[in-house]
Structure 1
Amino acid sequence: MKITDVKTYILGNPWKNWLFVHVETDEGIIGLGEGTLNGFAKTVEAAIHELKHLVIGMDPFDVETIGLRLFRDVYSNGGQIQGSALAAIETACWDIMGKAVNQPLYKLLGGRCHDKLRCYANGWYRGPRTPENFYERAKIVTAKGYTALKFDPFGAAWRTVDREDFALSLEIIAAVREAVGEKVDILIEGHNRFSVHTALQFADAMLKYEPTWFEAPVPPHNISSMVEVAKRSPVPIACGEDYYCREQFAELLKHDAVHIIQLEPQFLGISASKQINSMVHAHNGVIAPHSAQGPVCSVVCSHLNMATPNFLLHEIFDEFNEPWEENVLLPALKVKDGFLQPPEGPGLGVELNLEELHKHPYQVGNWLPLFKQGWEKRESNH
């Protein structure tokens, strides 16, 4: 079997343009992948078409070599853009493999490690940044059966905050804890916002609300800063979604400070993601992959998580997005009572609904401006 072409499709989801690929083969099997990157849909699409000549003619089963060609052999460091292009193509190759051998992807990655995947809700707090809104919407989430939920209470904060904003953030955390009760996990999202000292001030102040983790409290580029926060914070630190190669995880893990790793398969590809999961396993850590790109990414994470013994939680954004999203993939991925099963069909087990895709064209303003006041309303900016 040989790869004959790579085709791209962009869907204009209002808060983030989604990029999908089809990898075609000479045997008629077509693989599905995703290359979504906030603010860079057209850029990643261009990268895919600029790089696809490196894999046309290759056997899609040779994913390790395909990964090397798309990352090492290019020699330039294209960061998350290059990683997204690689992951889109490589994921589609795994989909092809599963279809060729008539097995779901998780069976190829090590088989079933769990009866079902416990999910946490994200994106559910769309609306005004008030304790009342967070309280009411958290109630709705737990009524759906979720036993864990994540949220960013910090508005458009960057590095430092004033006393009034600090107090509001804590009031929001308190409101969510009151809404969900003692038995539900609350996960605090930092979105790389703070300086080390501000992050530690928040970690100390939020401890009484018993968060399960404080995610990405400082920018990821200086791993030493993340390590310092992790070693001094009374709340467990989670991070990893920004990294796009194994070496970055190796540098983070060698400090034995962060033990909740949120790798992003969308930047790594499935082969590297599986290997990083094993690295985390060897460091006595757990994985909770980032799964807030698009719907194919969520399906990929479901397969990866099912085949990973040290899996902790599966992120669900899709249920709290536009109602038409459930028509983008056939069949749609469904959460039941806060838990999920990966699709059982061959490969990813889903197909892209091109008819629905064409209803939602690309828009320049479809991105998530996390440092703009009111970003949590998730309104299109075009």
Structure 2
Amino acid sequence: MRSVFIQTYPIYHDLLDTEQWLGRINRDRWMPGILADMGSEVELWGGDYEGSVHKSDIDEEGMGSYKIRLFETVSDQSQTKKHYSDALVEYAKSYDADLHLLKGVDGGVGIRLLNQYLLPEDKPFVFIIGGKFYTGNVPKADLVFYETEEQKEKLNNPGWRFWRRAVEEERLLRLPKSVDTDLFSPAPDLNKKWDIVCVGRLINRYKTYDELEELSEHFKVCMVGGGPAKEEFEKKFPKIDFVGQVPNDEVPNYLNQAHAFIHPGENDYFPRVISEAAACGCILLAFADSIATDVLPTDCGLRLDRDSYVQEIKELFDDKVLMKQMGNNARNYAVECLHKFSTKKPMEKMLQKLDFHFH
């Protein structure tokens, strides 16, 4: 059986060059390795400014090796997520995989592949959804991996959204986040330099981080991440420590120097960094109107009200016993539910549902 994982956004969409992207080992890299170890011939494809071929040899029992192919993109759109690759489409036609697993539902690389090959040729494909969870192509997938119960409910029951087609429950599977709980782990010997840390890309009009300004009036706040709006945000939020973009394997160092991690976004369902912060034993903070309890369990932190979040955090920080309990609970949550192999059982269920067998 031949399986291909496709990154539907170009790899440079996250402001990474080829070497940096190849060095980022996370769920996108573990899932192909796990499926390869289960017996499938696996490749991982993506779009890049230039084509290249690499081999993934993750030194981990239970993960097989696989080839990584990066294909040259056509960048005639200002938004990088809309960039596509005709070279990838042509190679897909000749490769003739048995199953295609698309990470993301609205990236240009994936849309081009769907429109030019997978849909016209009626090829089996699976969506691995993250933030955005619906396009007109989602109900056409043989199976959809979702991350949160809210996504599942909206996919299965569009409600008043009459233009959406429902995705039947038997074609929906929950996919946990995965984090390296050895790399992202508590460092009790590190001093707590900040009260709260935030990690994210600094892009204006996409993420404003306005809540951090208010927090910085009451707490020591650190912002980890780079992007085109970094200088603008540094001027806008002078009391926040901006450390810039750091390699992913250095992020734990910053998470471990803060008591709590906050995700201030409004449009995300389950950001990966919540898992990473939990694995480091950070108290988890997010806003209740965007992050649900199946993502942030109530014993691991606070789901905040946007009208009273400063006071809620102050009250928590006054209770040192509760703070320690929440940090320990967050670490246990990551170790038990969000480890490297958290996706193995869902992929086994996928193969059963799609009636794929290894020979």
Q: TM-score, normalised by structure 1?
A: 0.28
Q: Which has the higher contact order (CA 8 A, sep 6+)?
A: 1
Q: Looking at secondary structure, tell me which structure has more helix per residue.
A: 1
Q: Looking at secondary structure, tell me which structure has more strand per residue.
A: 2
Q: TM-score, normalised by structure 2?
A: 0.30
